[in-house]
Amino acid sequence: MAPRPPPLSLRLISDCLVKPRRLPPQSNHPLHLPPWDLAMLPIHYIQRGLLFPLPPRCVNPGFDRPAFIHSFLEKLQRSLSSTLAHFYPLTGRLATLERTEPPSYTVFVDCADGPGARFIHAALDMTVADILSPTYIPAVVRSFFNHDRAVNHDGHALLLLSTHVTELADGVFIGLSMNHTVGDGTSFWHFFNSWSVIFQAQEEGAVDVVQLSRPPVLTRWFAENHPGPISLPFTSNPSSFVSRFKAPELRERLFHFSVDAIAGLKGEANRHCGTTNISSFQSLTAHVWQCITRASRLAPDQVTSCSIAANNRARLEPPLPPEYFGNMVTLLRTAATVGELLDAGPGWAARQLNATVAEHNDAKLRKWNEEWIKSPQMYHRGNLFDPCNIMMWSSPRFNMYGNEFGLGKALAYTRP
């Protein structure tokens, strides 16, 4: 048998920093972080990306591809600079202020004269089909992101935002790595969407300063009785609250559900429960929960759980705007024994998830906030995951495929 060829690796072509041309006066003030932000310090950066096709002419003999790519990268950098002017916390770094009298340990975002965002251009001798055709996600996809193993606390030294543009033979992958302490998935995709809007506006001849119809709301939410800054009961040694998890080598796979399949799951769940309140997402989540539990062959009396990430913006009273830039997400856990989960009909699990979401309200959010300030509990892999738990992260409401950068619609979305 012929030896297996060595795995392909990326070729780094360029690496630079992108900064906004000007920053608002408020960027000179520290951005203090509420509990939902601070709890993210020990976990990983948000890393997501989109795979776009290159125009067919780019692979034609005689076409000046280097000039096309050079122009494309310049447009990306120009629009990124303009976008960062609106989302200026992403240009800063995390900072810690520790005092002895009175004792305090405060982590905040230092936006004053920040370094900006990293912009990497790399190339890989693979095609779009090489990425999308395999049953399992190719391991090389991890190298499409810049902060694969970093945790958010590393934002004291690492940049808070990194863009990685990987050029393939017939496509381009645009990957973003954003420090999760600065914002959640809603904030991440708001930034990505805004970058796309500004890119397209500048393509049409707009000046560098583009006004967004949905600018980010950068003022952080604090409860009235705890206006911040919040002092943490830690020392300057981050190992007291930051732990690093080295994942084993796993194979990852993407599953695609058609519109008709999801509609069928939703209809079946609602008919089984005699209601119309169960959503498509809850129906799909219940189906995945049951399938994974069945495949795991756990004992009938084993407790299993499913956690859903819930956006809290509209649940607070008064509600926060959708453009609130920061972390406003809570994991809602629904538990059942394996026997209960698998013996019940197709709608039972969906109804349990629906009830958990319905009970999530302003009072519970404020109680969580109050308890966290009294006794801060950081998110760790150990308290987020267990072998009998599944987690549905991200959201079907995120506008992933609305992002365009002069290359048409993305072919695929992926993460490391």
Where do the domains of the chain lie?
11-249+398-414, 288-392
Q: Note if the pTM is more than 0.85.
A: yes
Helix segments in 162-233, DSSP class H:
185-203
The residue among 177, 150, 157, 149 whose CA lies nearest residue 110 is: 157
Task: Supply the pLDDT for residue 248.
Answer: 77
- How much is the pLDDT for 386? 80
> Which residue, 59, 78, 77, is CA-closest to 14?
77
Phi-psi region of 392 (alpha: psi -120 to 50; beta: other; left: phi over 0): beta
pLDDT in tens, 320-354: 999 999 999 999 999 999 999 999 877 999 999 99
- Do the domains 11-249+398-414 and 288-392 sit in the same CATH topology, yes or no? yes
Q: Is 64 exposed, middle or buried (0-12, 13-18, 19+ CB in 10 A)?
A: exposed
**How many residues belong to the chain?**
416
Q: Would you identify the CATH topology of the domain 11-249+398-414?
A: Chloramphenicol Acetyltransferase (3.30.559)
Spatial distance between the Cα atoms of 359 and 363, rounded to a whole number of angstroms = 10
For residues 5 and 247, give the distance between their C-alpha atoms in angstroms, rounded to a whole number. Answer: 25
Side by side, which strands form the sheet with 303-311?
329-337, 303-311, 389-392
pLDDT averaged per 10 residues in sequence order, the chain, 416 residues: 57 97 91 97 94 93 94 97 97 92 88 93 97 94 90 95 97 98 98 97 83 96 92 76 77 91 96 94 96 96 95 97 97 96 91 96 97 90 77 85 94 89
d(CA 187, CA 37): 12
288-392 fold: Chloramphenicol Acetyltransferase (3.30.559)
From CA 256, how far away is CA 412, in angstroms rounded?
Answer: 11
Instruction: Give the separation between CA 293 and CA 244, rounded to whole angstroms.
Output: 27
Q: What is the pLDDT of residue 98?
A: 87
Check residue 178 and report its DSSP letter: E
pLDDT (tens digit per residue) in 146-196: 987 899 999 999 999 999 999 999 999 999 999 999 999 999 999 999 999
Note whether 212 and 23 are within 8 A (CB).
no
Average pLDDT, the chain: 92
- Which residue from 393, 24, 50, 327 is spatially nearest to 188, judged by alpha carbons? 327
Q: 31: which residues sit within 8 A by CB, 6+ positions away?
A: 89, 92, 108, 109, 110, 111, 218, 220
C-alpha 171: how far from chain center: 23
